[in-house]
Amino acid sequence: MPPVLRIVDLTVSFSHPDRTIHAVRQVSLAVAARESVGIVGESGSGKTQVFMAAMGLLAPNARADGHVLFGDDELLGLDAKRMNRIRGSKLSMVFQDPMTSLTPHLKIGTQLAEVLVCHAGKSWHEARIAARRMLERVGVPEPERRLNQYPHELSGGLRQRVMIGISLLCDPMLVIADEPTTALDVTVQAQVIDLLGAMRREVGMAMVLISHDLGVVADLCDRILVMYAGRIVESAGAVELFRQAQHPYTAELLKCIPGLSGPLLERLPTLPGQPPQPGQTIEGCAFAPRCARAAARCRTERPLLEGLGGADAGGHANGGHARRVACHFPLSL
């Protein structure tokens, strides 16, 4: 089965008057149908920009090179009209902050129905009925009343449910969720994660979950990609990744998750040092300055994202589950 989304050698750069900043450097990835992929990385690692480029939501001074293939369509440079037919229907997005992502002066029902009127050509009356049904499916209590409420009358968790409902209205092939739980309370986070998992099983769409929270990703994703300084440094099945990280950066990230068992720590473990500045030119491995295992070779020669054992064991672009890591000295060796 061909992948739903295929990104090949994507580079995203922002031009400033005095310099050019590379936010994403030659990222390639693929998302298979019904697959759930987690993208993990700290702030500024470029994880969001990869998918902003795919959705055509980059800032005006940004430039994207490479290919983003959604089904048979090349999304980079696609004209606005065709892009608008795809996004919101077959390719939809759930944003980070449900407090600000709903238009404040429009009733919930209108915002849901608008998507169906635009994309599915439904009448407002039909769209409203479908909107009501969707609110039920995403677990919004009293859907009939909610349709007539404004966003500010709903709690954060309910609004995120509404956002998820909006993203699912047109039976998308792929939903991109950009930190969907970051703006929510911890208890509500768990509910939203459960909802996303349940909806994925029910609708059967593929999902990309962008997060800096490994816990969230572990719950929901089949496969995890770890990004650092604009590149993918490790790609592995979720279970394998948590069992044995190969990239030192991933290993450090895993160590930073506070556990409920084990001794009570004085301080939470942190990763020393800072990620490289986005404008900085990097020779060698971007993580080398912070890496305990770094050798001379790491500072001069950039490691490629390869299957373990040297050769590119997984299909580079077919979304295979092969473990790949961009490190000269992966932890298992």
Partner 1 sequence: MSTLFGDATRRLRANPAAMCATIVTLSIVALTLIGPWFNPNSSETLDWSHVASQPALQSAHWFGTDRLGRDLFARTLEGARVSLAVGLVASAVSLLVGIGYGAVAGYVGGRTDHVMMRGIEILSGLPLVFFIIFLTVIFGRSVYLLFLSIGAVGWLTMARIVRGQTLSIRQREFIEAAVASGAGTARIIAKHVIPNVIGPVVVYATLTVPQIIMFESFLSFLGLGIQEPHASLGALIAEGAGEMEAAPWMLLVPGGLLALLLLALNMLGDGLRDALDVKER
* Residue count, binding to partner 1 (CB under 8 A): 33
Residue closer to partner 1, measured from CB, 92 or 246? 92
89 near partner 1 (CB under 8 A): yes
- Using CB under 8 A as the criterion, what x/- string covers residues 105-144 for binding partner 1? xx-------xx--xx-------------------------
Which residue from 100, 99, 73 is spatially nearest to 87, judged by alpha carbons?
A: 73
Which residue from 180, 248, 223 is spatially nearest to 323, judged by alpha carbons?
A: 223
> What is the spatial order of strands in the sheet that 20-31 belongs to?
20-31, 5-15, 62-70, 73-74
Residue closer to partner 1, measured from CB, 159 or 223? 159
> What is the smallest separation between the CB atom of 122 and partner 1, expressed in angstroms?
14
95 near partner 1 (CB under 8 A): yes
By CB under 8 A, name the one of 101, 182, 191, 244 that touches partner 1. Answer: 101
Residue closer to partner 1, measured from CB, 160 or 246? 160
Judge contact between 178 and 96, C-beta under 8 A: yes
DSSP state, residue 118: H
Return d(Cα 81, Cα 256) in angstroms, integer. Answer: 45
Distances (CA, A) of 1 to 31, 68, 320: 11, 18, 11
Helix (H), strand (E), coil (C) string for 262-288? CCCCCCCCCCCCCCCCCCCCCCCCCCH
Residue whose structure tokens are 């936010």: 23
By CB under 8 A, name the one of 32, 55, 225, 241 that touches partner 1. Answer: 55
The crossing angle, in degrees rounded to 10, of helices 186-203 and 156-168 is 20
Q: Contacts with partner 1 in 152-191 (CB under 8 A)? A: 153, 163, 166
260 near partner 1 (CB under 8 A): no
209 near partner 1 (CB under 8 A): no
Which residue from 138, 162, 132 is spatially nearest to 150, judged by alpha carbons?
A: 162
By CB under 8 A, name the one of 3, 38, 44, 88 that touches partner 1. Answer: 88
93 near partner 1 (CB under 8 A): yes
By CB under 8 A, name the one of 17, 104, 259, 263 that touches partner 1. Answer: 104
Return d(Cα 137, Cα 159) in angstroms, integer. Answer: 14
Stretch that binds partner 1, among 35-43, 51-59, 194-202, 275-283 (CB under 8 A): 51-59
83 near partner 1 (CB under 8 A): yes
Q: Which residues bind partner 1 (CB under 8 A)?
A: 55-57, 60, 80-81, 83-89, 92-93, 95, 97, 100-106, 114-115, 118-119, 149-150, 153, 163, 166
